[in-house]
Amino acid sequence: MTEKRFPLSKARLEAICAEHPTPFHLYDEAAIRENARGLKKAFAVLGDGFKEFFAVKALPNPFILKILAAEGFGADASSLPEIALALKAGIGGEDIMFSSNDTPQAEFAAALRAGAIVNLDDISHIESLAAAGGIPELVCCRYNPGALKQGNAIIGKPEEAKYGFTRGQLLEGYRGLEAGGAKRFGLHTMVASNELDPEYFIETGRLLFELVAELSEKIGIRFEFVNLGGGIGIPYRPEQTAVPLARVAAGLKSAYDEIIVPAGLSPLKTYIECGRVVTGPYGYLVSRVIHMKDTYRKYVGLDASMANLMRPALYGAYHHITVLGKEEAEPMETYDVTGSLCENNDKFAIGRRLPAVEVGDLVAIHDSGAHGHAMGFNYNGKLRSAEFLLREDGSVVEIRRAETMDDYFSTLDFARLDSFEAGERHGR
């Protein structure tokens, strides 16, 4: 069981909303920091070599990245803008893991300029990397275990996933990288997303440790790290439980002691690149009820839409909803909670039991701290919302302003439109 509590009272949130219009995402700094420290503590059993590279795509806000960097995290970037964002937040060099796929050559060049650890997704990328600026001293390859490993609902089966090298390609790839001048090596895999079973990550670690042993022996190279990727899930539903990170770490440690130590391959660092478990539970989409509708079902219409948080519409994902001021009220009604897009799947919840809702109520949609604002879009002319940080002293600061219509139009040239000859209508 996981308690789903919004960190502020209704009165405090109303005061914030009097200054900042809904909808917006609100992130809880104290909770993010406490969780970051808890994560590091849980994995401390793996020694100094453990490091988390926060997956920038989950919450690409430089204020958040700066907080996480202060807590000792690096950044996992997958594109040139994400590398630039990490650099702006003061994260550079080997504190950036560049895990991308189908990578444009210019992005390899940017990663090399930043001194990032380049994690290759495909054997053909060795040539692109060489052409982009040369094979660096430290390089990593992403493994796809294929049918060896079962996938899960979001990421699918590994053998159907587009990511990574096959085992055979890894042998050839590392040989090629070594011939090209690489001296330090990492091995990466990521085979799950939003996975709650701790055994899953232990098995993944075991698989990587065994592969490191095999590759080290066959190729004669020394591995510096394994990167288990991201994918640690969070309890979106109150009846779910957070992944026991200490259990994962202890399982990884035994696998390490069993496989890596006797093979003489220690020290080998353990990296992860999680996003969701780091910030997910500490973000809330705050929205106001602007419309109630009673037809074949009862609808609660919000001023937010799937353009602000698309996980429910995209994956049918559950996001808990708190109606402010009605936290203790009985859930007596059943509603579909909707946004205003001209898309029938623009629903935050379907058939959700909630206390009786009225127009004007404020709601907090939980667990928007990862893959929330970041997945936002402008369909139907919806503008991206602001992001706020609830600081440890209780103050609230804007860490990204809301888009305006001018932002929405900023890529259009209306001066050219005025002189644009549309010509006569077709089908005269």
Ligand X SMILES: *Cc1c(COP(=O)(O)O)cnc(C)c1O
Among 42, 46, 55, 390, contact with ligand X (rule: CB under 6 A): 55
Which tokens hold the place of 204? 């993944």
Do residues 400 and 389 make contact, with C-beta atoms less than 8 angstroms apart?
no
- Looking at the Cβ atoms of 103 and 338, the one nearer to ligand X is 103
Longest Cα–Cα distance in the chain: 82
The Cα 242–Cα 256 span in angstroms is 24
Among 145, 231, 281, 372, contact with ligand X (rule: CB under 6 A): 231
275-294 binders of ligand X (CB under 6 A)? 275-276
Active-site residue identified among 17, 140, 274, 342: 342
Distances (CA, A) of 345 to 29, 153, 338, 362, 409: 32, 19, 8, 22, 26
Contacting residues for 156 by C-beta, under 8 A, at least 6 apart: none
Among 370, 386, 390, 396, contact with ligand X (rule: CB under 6 A): 370
| Per rule CB under 6 A, count of chain residues that contact ligand X | 17
Per CB under 6 A, 301 contacts ligand X = no
To ligand X, the closest distance from the beta carbon of 316 in angstroms equals 17
373-412 binders of ligand X (CB under 6 A)? none
Active site (annotated) includes residue 342: yes
To ligand X, the closest distance from the beta carbon of 276 in angstroms equals 4
Name the one range near ligand X by CB under 6 A: 132-140, 271-279, 376-384, 417-425. 271-279
Do residues 90 and 66 make contact, with C-beta atoms less than 8 angstroms apart?
yes
Query: Please, what is the Cα angle at 370 between 369 and 374, to 5 degrees?
Result: 105
Which tokens hold the place of 231? 């994918």
The Cα 204–Cα 207 span in angstroms is 5
Name the one range near ligand X by CB under 6 A: 174-182, 229-237, 239-247, 404-412. 229-237
- Looking at the Cβ atoms of 243 and 365, the one nearer to ligand X is 243
Among 35, 193, 204, 368, contact with ligand X (rule: CB under 6 A): 193
Name the one range near ligand X by CB under 6 A: 10-18, 50-58, 129-137, 418-426. 50-58
Q: 287 by DSSP, 3-state: which?
A: strand
To ligand X, the closest distance from the beta carbon of 315 in angstroms equals 12
Which tokens hold the place of 314? 């995209």
Among 230, 251, 301, 376, contact with ligand X (rule: CB under 6 A): 230
Q: Any alpha helices (H) in 266-339, and if so which ranges?
A: 276-279, 311-315
Among 42, 274, 337, 365, contact with ligand X (rule: CB under 6 A): 274
- Looking at the Cβ atoms of 146 and 180, the one nearer to ligand X is 146
Instruction: Output b/e per residue, 185-209; b: 16+ Cβ within 10 A.
Output: bbbbbbbbbbbbebebbbbbbbbbb
To ligand X, the closest distance from the beta carbon of 189 in angstroms equals 10
Name the one range near ligand X by CB under 6 A: 2-10, 54-62, 110-118, 377-385. 54-62
Name the one range near ligand X by CB under 6 A: 59-67, 86-94, 269-277, 420-428. 269-277
Per CB under 6 A, 71 contacts ligand X = no
Per CB under 6 A, 366 contacts ligand X = no
To ligand X, the closest distance from the beta carbon of 419 in angstroms equals 44
- Looking at the Cβ atoms of 136 and 233, the one nearer to ligand X is 233
Contacting residues for 222 by C-beta, under 8 A, at least 6 apart: 184, 185, 216, 265
H or E element that contains 294: strand 283-294
Q: Sort strands 298-302 and 283-294 into parallel, antiparallel or unpaired.
A: antiparallel
Name the one range near ligand X by CB under 6 A: 205-213, 226-234, 257-265, 313-321. 226-234
The Cα 30–Cα 59 span in angstroms is 16
- Looking at the Cβ atoms of 346 and 367, the one nearer to ligand X is 367
Do residues 10 and 288 make contact, with C-beta atoms less than 8 angstroms apart?
no
76-115 binders of ligand X (CB under 6 A)? 76, 99
Per CB under 6 A, 198 contacts ligand X = no
Q: Sort strands 184-189 and 138-143 into parallel, antiparallel or unpaired.
A: parallel
Active site residues: 342
Interface with ligand X (CB under 6 A): 55, 57-58, 76, 99, 190, 193-194, 229-232, 273-276, 370
